[in-house]
Chains A and B, each alone.
Chain A
């Protein structure tokens, strides 16, 4: 079922002053869609998720699930499942009791609980762990149990709050793929919060970039990459980030900024190229190198094949196509 936020506003008041956590949020995940909300820490993305779950009450605006307004409904009435950052597994209960907690709370008949437990533990490959306590599980197993607990209730939507942040890099990549496959298979609308732009790009049907409680851009991953709406999104998405420099630094005389992806810069002999600069640093990252070049007092990063990388402290020419340039106003907005 679809999940939608309309004009949602949330402010936290304390005696030290108030903080705007969410400002006029309009965002929707279509039925079966995987929407990733990505942003730096403190950007309000978790608050956004908690507003959908009903753990926070927005000051203004509407939250709807499956087209029904649930803004004033308590969490239990919304029929969503949430996967928390630290999993929030009940430490004193076995895996089995953790998974069936919600079913028992809703007083489902025991035969139906038993059947669902079998199905979900097979699906997640945790049949052998059912009698163990969370403390006796590995990080990956805990993650699976947390997912199983969400799946078993067959909710209208999954809400995931940085579910992979506790895992090491290798396991994270693995679980990321697994969550993606699982979401495709179940086709349950999912809102996934992360600070990791790679996670966002690889998982999302749609990615919403948030900063300071506002949505900077919500679009398909390729659109975000190819057509960032402003300099924040341009720099946030992509690794290494897009070069965003004053237009004059690339020899174009106008106000505002120009952006160019590191892989769109070609380095060659100085003299014949559009611009020239001095290499300050070369980072070898495998078959490619990240070259730091100072051009007209601005640092540009270029991502080039390893064998084409110039030596550090040498002069180099810089070439790029006009089509690869992103144009931004002085206030950071993209010029289209």
Chain B
């Protein structure tokens, strides 16, 4: 065994201890009843049967779907738009880039508390400006949580910036001489040439988006109003740690994992078919 592959050992051990073994344990747990007290009792496919008829699960899944449908396009458009505006080097661009990235380094809990204030029905600036109570109107809460995420796009912004900067300048010069308007250049050069990277960004963002709504939903809306923001991760968390049904929570987790996997595979196939990847 050579020196380089030996360097991989700590990572592999960590992966084993922290990811692989717990995952196997979770799969096993999904076939049991386990409350955290006493030992798990085998229950076969009972948990999966219950899942099929669990209205709260399907509602959470629907909520997650709505979140992804709003958040992913919003985040992609925001990241790409900012990258295109800030890709040229000029005065103040460095600062502007840092500002664009900044929300991504704010801890999720602090970010959530900030938005709890922004959205507060009594004195929150956003609530006053729009005249909407984001925390009691289900439709408004369904918009507010994705909106919070639309600012934490630092990574996608940097990736889009890198993708834009690989497009050679002579292509734009040729287009300018040929009489192409900036809009025409955006549609026919910039976006098509960035498309493979954008496809990966979307692929990745869907996986991320399914999970990142946990903290805001927990802190800002507490899953409400009327379960409008009870997304799958929050439902799993409550099932496990409020109702202590660890077995069923494991079943839900597996469902989340499988659904995410299926979505990614479908997307990957589409991207291949459209020759983006």
Which residues of chain A have a CB within 8 Å of any CB of chain B? 53-55, 74-76, 78, 80-82, 84-86, 88, 90-93, 101-102, 105-106, 149, 153
Contact = CB atoms under 8 A, between A and B. Distances in A.
A84 B175 contact: no
A15 to B, nearest CB: 13
B176 A76 contact: yes
Nearest to B174: A88
Nearest to B169: A88
B189 A84 contact: no
B177 A75 contact: yes
- Top-10 shortest CB links A-B: A102-B178, A105-B180, A88-B170, A76-B179, A88-B174, A75-B177, A75-B176, A106-B179, A92-B192, A84-B170
B174 A91 contact: no
A106 to B, nearest CB: 5
Contacts of A149: 174, 178
B127 interface: no
A88 B177 CA distance: 12
Contact of A54 (B171, B174, B177, B195): B177
A88 B168 contact: yes
A124 to B, nearest CB: 17
Given A88-B168, A105-B184, A81 B177 contact: yes
A106 B175 CA distance: 11
Nearest to B196: A92
A90 to B, nearest CB: 6
15 contacts: A53-B173, A53-B177, A54-B176, A80-B177, A82-B173, A82-B174, A84-B170, A84-B174, A85-B170, A86-B168, A90-B189, A91-B193, A92-B193, A101-B180, A105-B178
A90 B184 contact: no
A88 B178 contact: no
A7 B31 CA distance: 86
B181 interface: yes
B204 interface: no
A102 B171 CA distance: 12
Contacts of A106: 178-179
B188 interface: yes
Interface string B139-180: 000000000000000000000000000001011011111111
A101 B189 CA distance: 10
Contacts of A74: 176
Contacts of B192: 92-93
Given A92-B192, A101-B188, A105-B184, A86 B178 contact: no
Contacts, number: 63
B180 A55 contact: no
Nearest to B171: A88
Contacts of B168: 86, 88
Interface majority SS (helix, strand, loop, mixed), chain B: helix
A75 B170 CA distance: 13
Determine the interface band of chain B, counting residues with CB < 8 A from chain A: 10 to 19
Nearest to B173: A55
Contacts of A88: 168, 170-171, 173-174
Contacts of B175: 101, 105
A80 B171 CA distance: 16
Contacts of A85: 170
A82 B177 contact: yes
Contacts of B170: 84-86, 88
B194 to A, nearest CB: 10
A53 B176 CA distance: 10
A85 to B, nearest CB: 8
Nearest to A83: B174
B173 A84 contact: yes
Given A90-B171, A93-B188, A105-B180, 4 more contacts: A76-B177, A88-B173, A90-B189, A153-B178
A73 to B, nearest CB: 12
A105 B181 contact: yes
Contact of B177 (A55, A86, A90, A93): A55
A81 B175 CA distance: 10
Contact of A102 (B173, B180, B189): B180
Contacts of A76: 176-180
A75 B189 CA distance: 18
A240 B170 CA distance: 35
Contacts of B179: 76, 102, 105-106
Contact of B178 (A54, A91, A92, A101): A101
A80 B173 CA distance: 12
Nearest to B275: A92
Contacts of B195: 92
B152 to A, nearest CB: 30
A59 B184 CA distance: 29
A90 B172 CA distance: 10
B186 to A, nearest CB: 12
A92 B193 CA distance: 7
Contacts of A102: 177-180
B174 to A, nearest CB: 4
B245 to A, nearest CB: 52
